[in-house]
Amino acid sequence: MSLPADQLETFLQRVPYVRFLGMRAELAGDEMTAILPFAPHLVGNTFLPALHGGVIGAFLEMTALAQLSVAQPSARVHKTIDVTIEYLKPGRALTSYARADLRKVGRRIANVHVEAWQENRSQPFAALRGHFLLSGEG
């Protein structure tokens, strides 16, 4: 069995969109923090400037899948069933952070909540609630 840090790194390298975003993650015990460094190609609104909504949604979804890759190791990436994204305020041109809370992990389905913030964790700018199909093979 590989270590959680190895499982996380494998996930981050396996998904091309993670590399496009420039997303990385840090693991402290069983708590993972996803990090999205600001980059100009992630801007959707150049007047504010603000992150593109699709970038924010993808960052939240990738955070959920990364946390699942640590908690439920699999040879394959788990599949998204559905997600609901709450855009609470614009994601500014700053580094963003996110943490996933695995609310319920069953044998086949996981229910996950993710919050993203920038300067203050108590002031999230976006959140995700989603269900994911677990791949099953460890």
Give the count of domains, the chain: 1
Query: What pLDDT sits at residue 136?
Result: 67
CA dihedral in degrees (74, 76, 77, 80; nearest 10)? -100
Position 1 pLDDT exceeds 60: no
Per-residue pLDDT reduced to its tens digit, 97-118: 999 999 999 999 999 999 999 9
Whether pTM > 0.85 for this model: the answer is yes
Query: What pLDDT sits at residue 137?
Result: 59
> At 12, is the pLDDT very low, low, confident or very high (cuts 50, 70, 90)?
very high
Question: Is residue 138 one of the residues assigned to a domain?
Answer: no
CATH of the domain at 40: 3.10.129.10
Position 60 pLDDT exceeds 80: yes
